[in-house]
Amino acid sequence: MGKGGLEDVVAAQSAICDVDGTAGRLIYCGYDIHDLAEHSTFEEVIYLLWNGQLPTKSELEGLNKLLRTSRALPPAVIEAMKKFPKEAMPMEALRTAVSMLSMYDKEAEEMDKEANLRKAVKLTAQIPTIVAYIDLIRNDKPVVAPREEGSLAENFLYMLSGGTMPNEVAVRSLDIALILHADHELNASTFAARVAAATLTDFYSATVAAIGALKGPLHGGANQEVIKMLIEMGTVDNVLPHLQKMFANHEKVMGFGHRVYKTEDPRAFHLRKMSEELGKRAGDTKWYEMSRKVEEQVKGDKGLNANVDFYSASVYYMLGIPIDLYTPIFAMSRMSGWAAHILEQYANNRLIRPRAEYVGKRDQKWVPFEKRQQLEAANK
Ligand code: ACO
């Protein structure tokens, strides 16, 4: 038995994403994340992850057209969402709505590559609509039909605001955040998706498995916890005493540490920069400054680096996005990576079924109820 948690275990061969934890490098299909964050768009990255190469102009236009015309949700799913409890967590609502989509997709059980690619397009296009509708519906606002134009980031912010066109800075900031979160090799949610896909279950079921795993605070749920911590700290001066209390209580500082990166998470670099820029634009750099202070202190005291979730928290906060939508936004992006991995798994499949080392009791003898209490007493 190794270190537990499958640490350092190579569980699949994949041509999608390479994480070099020592050098702090992240590569999508051969392209460095720094290049993609600087020059690319989320849609271009989706094409890259699904096809292994950057699109030509017409290939990108083709994908854009498919994504834009797939944004609307089946009316029955919208009606069902209106019946969800108002206080449902957005990740619960997302998980449930995505599961419902399969019942309204005639191809849900089709397993050929083309049908699965169509499901990848639909889910990538529809998840942002679900996330925006979750927020509109719980606030008793009318749902806004998606536009069949513009980028996924632009349309999401448009729907979320109830129908106001977002500014370019907000759109580009979200677009970069989506690029940075799109894939990350065998992270917990992607592994969950691949384990499910390897049973040859349908595309939707594999996606629901991934959403369930992403929700956890040790994975995608961390970004929400980061901003809650910053709000609790309240001021730059409170950072140190607050952290000292957390350290004394052996609490984890959300947004820090990583199973693979032993150095800076390359995604944090871009989000840190964005957090600063958005703060300066808004004339409110407090969240950035507090984040810097937390980062300095956690690095100094614990030797831990910020991960992707740490600075995405202040970025989304500066974009005015409700806190409990941070993890669903992560899902909006990671859907592209999950899809790439599900397709790759189907293309070269073998059931994923590891073993457990048995460490329990052996050679127990069955006894009737009357004798169990006596046994229990004797064992005390
Ligand atoms: N704050 C304080 N201490 C930490 C943190 C943290 N964020 N992360 C790790 N440590 C400590 C652990 O307490 C442990 O110390 P110990 O050896 O004295 O017991 C040591 O560092 C090793 O930590 P593990 O939890 O064993 O590391 P693992 O590789 O299993 O976990 C993980 C990685 C889950 C990311 C962890 O660092 C963590 O819980 N971080 C906070 C949650 C978070 O930010 N998750 C998002 C990760 S990125 C993503 O999923 C998108």
Question: What integer is the mean pLDDT of 6-19?
Answer: 96
- Does the residue 5 lie in any domain? no
213 plus 226 within the same structural domain: no
CA separation, residue 63 to residues 85, 272, 275, 280 (Å)? 35, 30, 30, 35
Question: What's the average model confidence in pLDDT over 203-221?
Answer: 97
Catalytic residue among 105, 135, 175, 309: 309
- pLDDT bin (cut points 50, 70, 90) of residue 261 is very high
Cα gap 139→11, rounded to integer Å: 43
Domain for residue 248, yes or no?
yes
Q: Which amino acid is at 252?
A: K
Do 127 and 147 have their domain in common?
yes
Q: Does residue 125 sit in the same domain as residue 195?
A: yes
Listed in sequence order, the residues at least 6 apart from 203 whose beta carbon sits closer than 8 Å to its beta carbon are 108, 116, 119, 120, 123, 197, 339, 342
- Is there a single domain that holds both residue 181 and residue 233? no
Ligand 1 centroid from CA 369, angstroms: 44
What pLDDT is recorded for position 379?
Answer: 75
Mean pLDDT of 118-132: 98
The conformational region for residue 140 under phi > 0 = left, psi -120 to 50 = alpha, else beta, is: left
Judged by DSSP in three states, 191 sits in helix
Range of the domain at 120: 12-217+327-347
Cα–Cα nearest to 181, from 151, 153, 141, 142? 153
Averaged pLDDT for residues 358-370: 95
| Residue pointed to by tokens 């370019």 | 168
On whether both 56 and 186 belong to a single domain, the answer is yes
Q: What is the DSSP letter of 338?
A: H
Looking at ligand 1, which residue's alpha carbon is closest to its atom 41? Answer: 254
> What percentage of residues in the chain have a pLDDT greater than 90?
96
Q: Is 258 a catalytic residue?
A: yes
pLDDT at 1 > cutoff 80: no
Please report the pLDDT score of residue 219 as a whole number. 94
Amino acid identity of 55?
A: P
- Whether residue 326 is predicted with pLDDT greater than 70 in this model: the reply is yes
Q: 72-106, pLDDT tens digit by residue?
A: 999 999 999 999 999 999 999 999 999 999 999 99
Mean pLDDT across 2-16: 92
Q: Can 309 be counted among the known catalytic residues?
A: yes
pLDDT number for residue 378: 78
**Does 246 sit in the ligand 1 pocket, CB within 6 Å?**
no
Co-location of 97 and 228 in the same domain: no
Would the pLDDT of 107 be above 90? yes
Residue 151's pLDDT is 98
pTM: 0.96
90 by Cβ neighbours in 10 Å (0-12 / 13-18 / 19+) ranks as buried
Residue found by looking up tokens 């580009």 in the block? 172
What does the longest C-alpha to C-alpha distance in the chain come to? 77
Please tell me whether residues 340 and 309 are part of one structural domain.
no
- Same domain as 109, residue 230: no
pLDDT > 70: percent of the chain: 99
Average pLDDT value for residue range 169-174: 97
Answer yes or no: is 353 within a domain. Answer: no
Phi-psi region of 355 (alpha: psi -120 to 50; beta: other; left: phi over 0): beta
Residue of 252, 259, 297 with the most ligand 1 atoms within 8 Å of its CB, for mutation: 252
Residue 380 has pLDDT above 80, yes or no: no
What are the tens digits of pLDDT across the range 301-323?
999 999 999 999 999 999 999 99
Residue 376 confidence (pLDDT)? 73
Tell me the mean pLDDT in the region 216-223.
Answer: 94
Q: Which two tokens stand for residue 304?
A: 């831990």
Please give the backbone phi and psi of residue 306, each rounded to the nearest 5 degrees, phi first.
-65, 140
364 occurs within a structural domain: no
- Whether the pLDDT of residue 356 is over 70: the answer is yes
Residues 41 and 183 in one domain: yes
Q: Is pLDDT of 2 > 70? A: no
> Which residues, listed in sequence order, are joined to residue 17 by a DSSP beta bridge?
28
Report pLDDT for 3. 77
Strands 31-32 and 17-20, sheet pairing:
unpaired
The whole-number pLDDT of residue 73 equals 98
* Cα–Cα distance measured from residue 80 to residue 100, given in angstroms and rounded to the nearest whole number: 9
For 26, half-sphere exposure in the C-beta direction (CA atoms, 13 angstrom radius) is: 27
| 281 and 236 in a common domain | yes
Would residue 379 count as lying in a domain? no
Q: Decide whether any atom of ligand 1 lies within 6 Å of the 317 Cβ.
A: no
Q: Residue 303 region, left (φ>0) first, then alpha (ψ -120 to 50), else beta? A: left
Give ∠ CA 272-275-280 in degrees, rounded to 5: 130
Contact 330, 215 (CB under 8 A): no
pLDDT at 118 over 90: yes
Helix (H) or strand (E) run with residue 329 in it: helix 326-347
Long-range contacts of 35-39 (CB under 8 A, 24+ apart): 36/179, 37/176, 37/179, 37/180, 37/270
pLDDT mean across residues, the chain: 96
Do 191 and 234 reside in the same domain of the chain?
Answer: no
For residue 194, how far is its CA from the centre of ligand 1 (angstroms)? Answer: 23
Nearest CA to ligand 1 atom 35: 258
Nearest atom in ligand 1 to 5's CA: 30
At 197, is the secondary structure helix, strand, or coil?
Answer: helix
